[in-house]
């Protein structure tokens, strides 16, 4: 089964229905931790007697799905299906495709029977195993979309708190095997939307929609929540909670368990335990952590010092708060280019996060970020893969994995990881711009330009909302350069340097853009200043970065690298 990761909840019922017919189905959630992801998928594709590609608007945009489909078509084993009226890639439009838009999971549905007939034409009839009458009935997953809880505090600055509560409820409900939860990215795309619940349910394919609000005032918090049946707009469950802020964790448990009870589902013992697990029991630490996390996700380098400062205070309040240690590492990772950043600044919080939270994807992602910051790309990729194993759709895990692959010049792998990161975070532009660079390194001009246009659209929205977002502007220069908008790229570069003149990483991104434009002298001039104050990790990235291939080998480039290495050696031996 070939599909976009974002469609996993949609694909699961299809897999279950095919298995109920007697087919043996392989799809990548079957990968166990420790297995080699790429080699295993390649082996399964080669051994598959038939490949079902699930076309949706997400999978049509996925290079990996298109590549797998093309390989299967060449071997004559492709069986395509479609959801959401997806517009198929042009080279697949002539193939007979089963439309499953109206399929609700019924194995007797005409469209599903058509799919089975297509499979039988390639594989023969499946062997249906005998099932004892006492076999427990399998219930399909119940799908829920958790909309961002409205901030009713009267203070826009409290938005981070209501968003954090929403994300935690999404995470909690995701621990219940009987539930299928719409991704955080898709759910948050409806933030502030005025459409009805039925329309949201239709777009997300969710049977139920959870809506709510948060009002925080001092040490008190009021949370209201309603679970709505998307098919008839009827309230299934609703409650209002007025509590002390210290009860916020018990309150989240109550909401999750109340939803499970309202849907008449049964929690497994391990799921009940998972819902009750919290990284901290300190309400003040939790509140500040949500603030730090929100600053980090804004991805403006100016915020990194803020994130580090907040997280240091959080771990003073609760030294065992693994997520705070991990987020501190991630913020320091964003500052890896600074020569004054010591190894302890990265290694200590990363190792602390891993020791306290080995079950958290963020902890392994923090370790991966620490390795990448020191130029240890292979070790970083190993740690990032552990994070992805724990949380396949993790934004940060896939972003760090992609960057480690870029350092290793494994561009196809990098694109795959970055695509997951882009899907996971609607506001992301960093992973989006690295997809551009990966295609550029592969000399795939058409996909380079298409990816650059997508990245620029995100960047322009961010810069419109926050004109001083120097990181977005700096990466926007690169996208503009790729798209041939040279004058605008130079204009943005000038603007970025005026906004954040001391940011060496920003200047480095500008040098990459100038290199891409063919402005070698300008690129080298900017790069000389960066190299003079680079850290060991930054220097290792300069030596590995494909964006600088046009200037690599120039005597001025070699001289600045040699000078930077001599400076770092002298500092290390002092």
Question: Does residue 573 sit in the same domain as residue 457?
Answer: yes
Cα–Cα dist 8/29, whole Å: 9
pLDDT value at residue 412:
92
Answer whether residue 414 is part of any domain. no
Q: Please indicate, yes or no, whether residues 305 and 257 belong to a single structural domain of this protein.
A: no
Q: Could you tell me the CATH number of the domain that includes residue 463?
A: 1.25.40
- Quick check: 16 and 25 in contact, CB under 8 A? no
Count of C-beta atoms within a 10 Å radius of residue 142: 18
Q: Read off the pLDDT band of 110 (50, 70, 90).
A: confident
Confidence category of residue 296, pLDDT binned at 50, 70, 90? confident
User: Residue 337's pLDDT is what?
Assistant: 65
pLDDT, tens only, 125-137: 776 544 334 334 4
Q: What is the mean pLDDT of the chain?
A: 84
> Do 205 and 259 fall within a single domain?
yes
Which phi and psi (to 5°) does residue 105 adopt? Answer: 105, -5
In a domain? residue 253: yes
Query: For position 157, what pLDDT does the model report?
Result: 72
Structural domain span for residue 261: 142-278
According to the model, what pLDDT value does residue 495 have? 84
Q: What is the model's pLDDT at position 313?
A: 95
Q: Greater confidence, 57 or 5?
A: 57
381 & 447 share domain: no
Residue pair 391/417 in contact by the 8 Å Cβ criterion: no
CATH number at residue 320: 1.25.40.10
Quote the tokens at residue 331: 């913020």
pTM beyond 0.85, yes or no: no
Instruction: Say whether 25 sits in a helix, a strand or coil.
Output: coil
pLDDT in tens, 211-267: 999 998 878 889 999 999 988 888 999 999 888 888 888 888 888 888 888 888 877
Examine the domain organization and report whether 147 and 263 are in the same domain.
yes
pLDDT of residue 342: 59
> Is residue 464 one of the residues assigned to a domain?
yes
User: Strands 98-99, 78-82: parallel, antiparallel or unpaired by DSSP?
Assistant: parallel
CA 212 to chain centre: 25
Contact 263, 208 (CB under 8 A): yes
Could you read off the pLDDT of 480-520 as tens digits, one per residue?
988 988 888 888 888 887 888 877 777 888 888 888 778 88
What beta strand segments (E) does 218-273 contain?
Answer: 220-229, 234-244
Q: Are residues 42 and 104 in the same domain?
A: yes
pLDDT band at 413 (very low <50, low <70, confident <90, very high): very high
CATH number at residue 18: 3.40.50.10140
pLDDT tens for each residue of 259-293: 888 888 877 888 777 777 777 889 899 989 999 98
- Does 562 lie in the same domain as 442? yes
| Count of domains forming the chain | 4
**Which of 392, 372, 391 lies closest to 382, judged by CA?**
372
Q: Is residue 543, in this structure, part of any structural domain at all?
A: yes
Contact predicate 324/314, CB 8 Å: yes
Task: Go through the chain and tell me how many residues it has.
Answer: 574
Pair (116, 199) in one structural domain: no
Residue 474 has pLDDT above 60, yes or no: yes
Check whether residue 149 and residue 272 sit in a common domain. yes
> Which residue, of 243, 278, 313, is where some domain finishes?
278
Pair 266, 298 in one domain: no
Residue after which a domain boundary falls, among 57, 90, 123: 123
Token readout for 22 is 């007697």
Higher confidence at residue 271 or residue 142? Answer: 142
Q: Pick 276 or 307 by higher pLDDT.
A: 307
The answer as to whether 415 is a domain residue is no
Q: Do 92 and 175 have their domain in common?
A: no
Tokens describing residue 336: 């890896």
CB neighbours of residue 281 within 10 Å = 13
Split at pLDDT 50, 70, 90, the class of 67 is: confident
Domain membership of residue 412 (yes or no) is: no
Which range has the top average pLDDT, 190-194, 195-199, 558-562?
Answer: 558-562
Same domain, 347 and 467: no
Question: Are residues 437 and 547 in contact, defined by beta-carbon separation less than 8 angstroms?
Answer: yes
Q: What is the pLDDT of residue 343?
A: 55
Would you say residue 32 has pLDDT above 70? no
pLDDT > 70: what percent of the chain? 92
Query: Mean pLDDT, to the nearest integer, of 320-339?
Result: 84
Question: What is the rounded average pLDDT of the residues 434-443?
Answer: 92
Q: In terms of pLDDT, which residue wins out, 370 or 338?
A: 370
Amino acid 384: pLDDT: 93
Alpha helices (H) along 124-236: 159-173, 184-188, 197-204
Domain stops at, among 404, 420, 451: 404
Please report the pLDDT score of residue 553 as a whole number. 84
- Is there a domain that residue 421 lies in? no
Tens of pLDDT, residue by residue over 424-437, are 888 899 999 999 99
Q: Could you tell me the CATH number of the domain that includes residue 197?
A: 3.40.50.10070
CA distances from 223 to 150, 209, 239, 251, 290 (A): 10, 16, 8, 9, 17
Query: Looking at the domain assignment, is residue 113 inside a domain?
Result: yes
The answer to whether 332 touches 303, Cβ cutoff 8 Å, is no
């Amino acid at each position: 089964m070939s599909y976009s990761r974002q469609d996993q909840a949609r694909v699961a019922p299809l897999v279950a229905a095919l298995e109920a017919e007697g087919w043996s189905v392989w799809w990548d959630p079957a990968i166990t931790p420790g297995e080699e992801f790429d080699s295993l998928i390649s082996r399964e594709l080669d051994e598959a007697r038939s490949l079902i590609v699930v076309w949706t608007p997400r999978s049509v945009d996925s290079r990996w799905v298109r590549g797998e489909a093309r390989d299967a078509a060449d071997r004559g084993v492709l069986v395509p299906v479609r959801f959401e009226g997806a517009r198929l890639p042009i080279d697949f439009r002539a193939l007979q495709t089963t439309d499953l838009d109206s399929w609700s999971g019924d194995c007797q549905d005409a469209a599903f029977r058509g799919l089975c007939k297509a499979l039988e034409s390639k594989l023969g009839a499946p062997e249906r195993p005998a099932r004892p009458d006492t076999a427990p009935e399998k219930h399909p997953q119940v799908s829920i979309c958790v909309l961002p809880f409205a901030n009713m505090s009267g203070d826009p600055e409290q938005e981070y708190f209501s968003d954090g509560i929403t994300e935690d409820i999404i995470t909690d409900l995701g621990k219940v095997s009987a539930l299928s939860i719409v991704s955080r990215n898709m759910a948050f795309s409806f933030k502030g939307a005025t459409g009805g619940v039925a329309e949201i349910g239709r777009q997300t394919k969710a049977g139920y929609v959870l809506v709510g609000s948060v009002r925080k005032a001092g040490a008190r918090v009021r949370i209201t929540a309603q679970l709505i049946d998307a098919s008839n707009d009827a309230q299934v469950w609703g409650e209002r909670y007025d509590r002390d802020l210290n009860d916020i964790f018990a309150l989240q448990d109550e909401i999750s368990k109340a939803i499970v009870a309202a849907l008449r589902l049964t929690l497994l013992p391990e799921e009940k335990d998972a819902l009750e697990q919290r990284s901290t029991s300190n309400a003040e630490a939790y509140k500040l952590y949500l603030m730090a996390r929100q600053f980090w996700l804004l991805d403006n380098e100016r915020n990194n010092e803020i994130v580090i400062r907040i997280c240091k205070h959080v771990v003073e309040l609760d030294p065992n708060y693994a997520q705070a240690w991990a987020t501190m590492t991630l913020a320091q990772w964003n500052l890896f280019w600074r020569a004054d950043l010591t190894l302890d600044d990265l290694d200590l919080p990363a190792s602390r996060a891993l020791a306290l939270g080995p079950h958290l994807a963020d902890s392994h992602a923090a370790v991966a970020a620490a390795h990448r910051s020191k130029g240890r790309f292979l070790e970083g990729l190993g740690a990032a893969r552990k994070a992805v194993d724990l949380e396949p759709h993790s934004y940060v895990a896939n972003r760090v994995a992609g960057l480690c692959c870029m350092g290793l010049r494994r561009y196809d792998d990098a694109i795959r990881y970055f695509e997951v990161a882009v899907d996971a975070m609607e506001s992301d532009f960093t992973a989006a711009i690295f997809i551009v660079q990966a295609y550029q390194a592969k000399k795939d001009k058409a996909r380079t330009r298409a990816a650059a246009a997508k990245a620029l659209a995100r960047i322009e929205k961010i810069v419109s909302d926050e004109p001083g977002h120097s990181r977005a502007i700096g990466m926007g220069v690169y996208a503009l350069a790729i798209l041939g908008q040279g004058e605008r790229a130079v204009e943005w570069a000038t603007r970025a340097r005026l906004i954040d003149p001391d940011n060496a990483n920003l200047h480095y991104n500008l040098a990459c853009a100038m290199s891409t434009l063919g402005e070698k002298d300008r690129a080298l001039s900017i790069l000389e200043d960066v190299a003079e104050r680079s850290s060991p990790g930054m220097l290792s990235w300069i030596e590995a970065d494909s964006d600088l291939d046009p200037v690599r080998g120039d005597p001025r480039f070699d001289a600045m690298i040699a000078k930077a290495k001599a400076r770092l050696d002298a500092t290390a031996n002092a």
